Structure 1
Amino acid sequence: MTADNIDTSSSTWKSVFRNDLFQGKVAIVTGGGQGIGKEISLELASLGATVVIASRDVAKCEEAAREMNALIAGSGVGRVVAGPSTNIRKEEDIQNLVAHVVEKYGALDMLVNNSGGQFIQESAEISRRGFSAVIQTNLEGTFLMCREAYNQYMRDNGGTIVNITIGNRNGMPGMMHSAAARSGVENMTASLCTEWIESKVRINCVRPGIIFTDSGFKNYGPAGEYFIKKMNKSLPARRLGSPQEVSSAVTWLLSEGASYVTGAILCVDGGGSYVGLPLIEIEDKANLPVYGTLPARAKL
């Protein structure tokens, strides 16, 4: 499977949910101008929500908002708007984003923590600075977004939060730093769902498997195509996932239909979390020493 035979066109997109599902609701989607975040933003807006997308590049968010609004024109009363420049590694930026949304739109009913970043590298070669940068973005940034949404609005008004993690049930050789951060997000979510339930706040995770997006795989350069070929052989579904499949899961968790669901991890991975992630080659001569006796036929 290559990027050439995967249809990622938003022009064929259509939500499975009713048009007024989120009418009058206000949402923030971090990283909502591209990839999975863009599909989530598009779907929420098509269902009536005012969706504020945020990243460091306001111009790109504004352009993405124009594209999405053109696609959903006439489908409902929702819209996508660009928020202020936000680096989720900066506490002040996050505080300003949430304050801006609450002040301008009068609410913050839904939060989707989609922003994140990582790079492919063997663990022994990751610098402390590189490890810290991924932890700050994927774990600390997600926590700060949740905290500010809760403190500035949801504590008194309720709300729903979905954190996007990553398929790491069996670890992620080659991206250990990201797997560690995302596992932290999942455990944080389990803690917050109990702490905040009295405020009528639900918080869940969606754990995508390997999802194809043009923007995502371009970031990895030639390694992206190699990644696809390696992963496709090991996935039970024998294909990568689409951003729309992740968006559908997020939409359900944000909806009233999931009103009894909190602290959950919803996997969207085609069964991929139950198999290994063969990003690192294991040489034939590699083995662990044996304690006791082992028949020759037991060796691979």
Structure 2
Amino acid sequence: MIAPRPTAQECKVLPAAALRDRLALVTGAGSGIGRAVALRLLELGASVVGVGRRAQRLAETAELAKTSRFRYQALDLRDRPAAAEFVAGLGGLDLLVNNAGGQFVAPAAEISRRGFDAVTDLNLTAQASLLLAARPGLAARGGRVVNLSLSAPDRGLPGHAHSAAARAGIAALTRSLARRWRAEDIRLFCLAPGTVLTAGAGEELPAGDLARIVARTPLGRDTTPGEVAEWVAALGSGAADAVSGALIEVDGGAGLVAAAALPG
């Protein structure tokens, strides 16, 4: 039995102005999940700084936002000095959403060292550097961090050996920093969506493969961008502050079953 998908409005459960007067930094805000997160945070009263590699996509997010509380900057997080300088210039920070990432599908034996390094850098080491750069600003405001991962990275993801390694690493880093930074009133969470049918997902896998992956989940459905955005907003609002360092899987139960067979 396939569980019904909620409508965009049904996903919205937080009270209006839940994030009023908060400042959030969202990476990868120019498309997909990052755009959905940025727009939802704005709806809840936050001021949002969106970054990403493509200025045009960020400008499109700004057009959808229709508010001066959204500003953006083209930024490649792999440029460590530029990223650190940018984050330092923000001052106090209430929420960091580490969403930027990407991967490609390939058998593990066919992934070149350059390809492996590129994916692990984007999904782990560049994010770790950004976290360290944001630490003073987060500490100044008792801020929160939501790191985006993938469903059950420790289970292994066929065709995504490089990405699974990086995403498992970001989950471990979240747990480690949640322990170390608690004294500075910084809380960290790792959110792992299931299959989110964004344009980016369609570029990585054919529609038939995506459909098979979704069909294998216990709920038999995908995770919507709106659901991910609401979870991010809830974690950023303080509604889930009894949680610390956890990997929260919003994946229709995908982490409970074996991954669908793909090349690699």
Residue 144 in 1 paired to residue 126 in 2?
Answer: no
For the Cα contact (< 8 Å) 1:170–1:274, is it kept in 2? no
Measured after TM superposition, the shift of residue 14 of structure 1 is 6.5
Residue 87 of structure 1 aligns with which residue?
A: 76
Q: Comparing both chains, which one has the higher relative contact order based on Cα–Cα distances under 8 Å and sequence gaps of 6 or more?
A: 2
Residue 250 in 1 paired to residue 232 in 2?
Answer: yes
- Distance in 2, matches of 1:15 and 1:273, equals 24
Residue 202 of structure 1 aligns with which residue?
A: 187
- Distance in 2, matches of 1:232 and 1:281, equals 17
- Distance in 2, matches of 1:98 and 1:8, equals 35
For the Cα contact (< 8 Å) 1:230–1:279, is it kept in 2? no
Runs of 4+ in structure 1 deviating by more than 4 angstroms, as ranges, are 6-10
Q: Scaled by the length of structure 2, what TM-score is found? A: 0.92
Q: Scaled by the length of structure 1, what TM-score is found? A: 0.81
Decide which structure has the larger Cα Rg and report it.
1
- 5 Å-filtered alignment, 1:59-78, equals 59-69=56-66
For each residue in 1:260-279, what CA deviation from the matched residue of structure 2 results, as whole angstroms up to 9, or x when unmatched? 22111111000000111123
For each residue in 1:237-294, what CA deviation from the matched residue of structure 2 results, as whole angstroms up to 9, or x when unmatched? 1111111111111111111222222111111000000111123379xxxxxxxxxxxx
Residue 165 in 1 paired to residue 155 in 2?
Answer: no
Could you tell me which amino acid in structure 1 is paired with residue 133 of structure 2? Answer: E
SS in 2 for 1:134: helix
For the Cα contact (< 8 Å) 2:195–2:214, is it kept in 1? no
For the Cα contact (< 8 Å) 2:11–2:230, is it kept in 1? no
Long gaps (5+) in structure 2: none
CA RMSD of superposed structures (Å): 2.2
Count of aligned positions: 260
Long gaps (5+) in structure 1: 1-5, 283-300
SS in 2 for 1:129: helix
Residue 15 of structure 1 aligns with which residue?
A: 12
Residue 40 of structure 1 aligns with which residue?
A: 37
Distance change (3 Å), C-alpha of 1:101 and 1:156? closer
SS in 1 for 2:155: coil
Residue 28 of structure 1 aligns with which residue?
A: 25
